């Protein structure tokens, strides 16, 4: 039976531009490589990843009742995502992210949340009542919605997985219930703890610092090209990533943590789930765009088979 994962998070239209040089303050850069509008948003990327990787994906989010919102809703339905708990709001526009991608594949992103900050609590409650196997969230929606959803899930004994991006030091992590997985990337880890996870020792110190901020069974620190550091504070392992060309890192973290959540529910083994998630992340960074870069289960399995 497929694992049913409820994502309560964000949905955006991404304005993606490829840049040879990031502009400095006061500088105008003429870029001839063009731009495009693509579906994105941390939550939407994750919900799509769950669906493509073989999970039953349920998405609770808020879109504007506008052309972008209508287009995104159609896309999610085409992906086979359950959109029963998605809201189209008249008073707020669909979220938009301005994404600049450099020649090295790294990106800089500015997000205009719009409707993302106004997910109705009633929809969250109804979605949780649909008996998901897990709740998955990021921090790209209103903090109140994250805290509300997490605590409501805990009341129902639904495990909660949180991808800690984008990081905000003012977010009250202590208001969250016991989590199953808390997963920041390198920069998010440094924002929350003041510790940059550059090696095994600093990863261990950062994980211990995170444990003083938020309770979780596992802490998974995403390390980009180095893989990820996984710990339950009694046992730790660095799971290396796979070789691959980096074209665009957009959606890599979102897809990684969604894949980690799904595979952990399927296998019960956090280390093997991390290896699977690393494979997904490697495939994502090899393509441009957010949602368009997310692989299918068959693509991931074929990739892993080549490294078995």
Give the residue numbers annotated as catalytic, written as ranges.
254
36-47: burial string, b at 16+ Cβ within 10 Å, e else: eebbbbbbbbbb
Q: How many residues does the chain have?
A: 308
The DSSP result for 34-88, as a single string, is -EEEEEE-HHHHHHHHHHHTT-EEEEE-EEESSHHHHHHHHHHHHTT-B-TT-EE
> Phi and psi (nearest 5°) for 216?
-155, 145
> Phi and psi (nearest 5°) for 12?
-135, 160
Q: How many CB atoms lie within 10 A of CB 101?
A: 22
């Amino acid at each position: 039976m497929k694992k049913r994962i409820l994502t309560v998070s964000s949905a955006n239209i991404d304005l993606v531009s490829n840049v040879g040089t990031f502009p400095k303050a006061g500088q105008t850069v003429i870029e001839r490589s063009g731009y495009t509008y693509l579906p994105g948003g941390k939550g939407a990327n994750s919900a799509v990843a769950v669906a493509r990787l073989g999970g039953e994906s349920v998405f609770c989010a808020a879109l504007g009742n506008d052309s972008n919102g209508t287009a995104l809703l159609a896309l999610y339905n085409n992906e086979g995502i359950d959109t029963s708990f998605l809201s189209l709001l008249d008073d707020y526009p669909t979220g938009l992210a301005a994404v600049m991608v450099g020649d090295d594949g790294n990106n800089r992103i500015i997000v205009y949340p719009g409707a993302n900050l106004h997910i109705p609590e009633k929809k969250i409650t109804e979605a949780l009542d649909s008996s998901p196997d897990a709740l998955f969230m990021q921090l790209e929606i209103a903090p109140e919605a994250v805290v509300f959803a997490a605590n409501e899930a805990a009341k129902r004994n639904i495990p909660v997985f949180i991808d800690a991006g984008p990081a905000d030091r003012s977010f009250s992590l202590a208001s969250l219930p016991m989590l199953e997985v808390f997963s920041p990337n390198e920069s998010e880890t440094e924002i929350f703890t003041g510790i940059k996870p550059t090696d095994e020792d600093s990863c261990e110190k950062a994980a211990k610092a995170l444990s003083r901020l938020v309770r979780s069974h596992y802490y998974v620190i995403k390390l980009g090209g180095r893989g990820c550091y996984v710990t339950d504070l009694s046992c730790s392992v660095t799971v290396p990533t796979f070789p691959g060309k980096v074209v665009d890192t957009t959606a890599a973290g979102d897809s990684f943590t969604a894949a980690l959540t799904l595979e952990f529910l399927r296998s019960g083994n956090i280390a093997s789930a991390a290896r699977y998630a690393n494979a997904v992340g490697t495939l994502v960074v090899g393509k441009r765009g957010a949602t368009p870069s997310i692989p299918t289960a068959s693509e991931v399995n074929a990739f892993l088979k080549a490294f078995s």
